[in-house]
Each structure stands twice: as structure tokens, then as C-alpha cells.
Amino acid sequence: MSAHCQLTGRKPGFGKTISHSHRRTSRRFDPNVQRKRYWLESEGRHIRLTLSAKAIKTIDAIGIEAAVARIRAQGEKV
């Protein structure tokens, strides 16, 4: 699963792990991404979105129809 949120656009961040001896190795900070299924009333079908935890809370606040409009405005296919 790609660590990319369809609504907020959150992607992995990159940095370094620093050991006790101060050696640096690369690491990746993945966002908390979940696959979630919603009922889209206007189209009469279910859609499956890849969303961060913050985006799930945003959908609870603004509604799925407004969220899908935002995703489509970004040029993503739903």
C-alpha cells in the first residue's frame, strides 16, 4: 500500500536515525494511512479511499461528498 493520503496529500518524510555512537542511517517516517470504504450517495456506490488519520476526521467534519469534490479538484480519480 502506498503511504500517500488522497485527501491531504501527506507523504512519507525522510531523515536519519542517530545511534549512541552518533552514526547516521537513513530512515522513513510514514504517515498513519488507512484504507477506508465509504458509501457515496450521489453515485449510489461504495468508494475505497487511502486516507491519513487526520483526513478521516476531516471527512467526519465536512462529509464524504465535499471530501470527494476536493479529491477530484486535485486531479485524483475516485
Please state, in angstroms and rounded to a whole number, the distance separating the CA atoms of residues 72 and 61.
Answer: 18
The predicted model scores a pTM of 0.84
- In tens, the pLDDT along 11-61 reads 999 999 999 999 999 999 999 999 999 999 999 999 999 999 999 999 999
> Residue 74 pLDDT more than 90?
yes
pLDDT at position 2: 80
Pull the grid cell for residue 39: 458509501
pLDDT of residue 55: 97
- State the helix-helix crossing angle for 53-62 and 64-73, rounded to 10 degrees: 120
What does the pLDDT read at residue 38? Answer: 97
Confidence at residue 1, expressed as pLDDT on a 0 to 100 scale: 56
Q: Nearest CA to 37 among 48, 53, 25?
A: 48
Beta bridge partners of 3: none
SS3 state at 13: strand
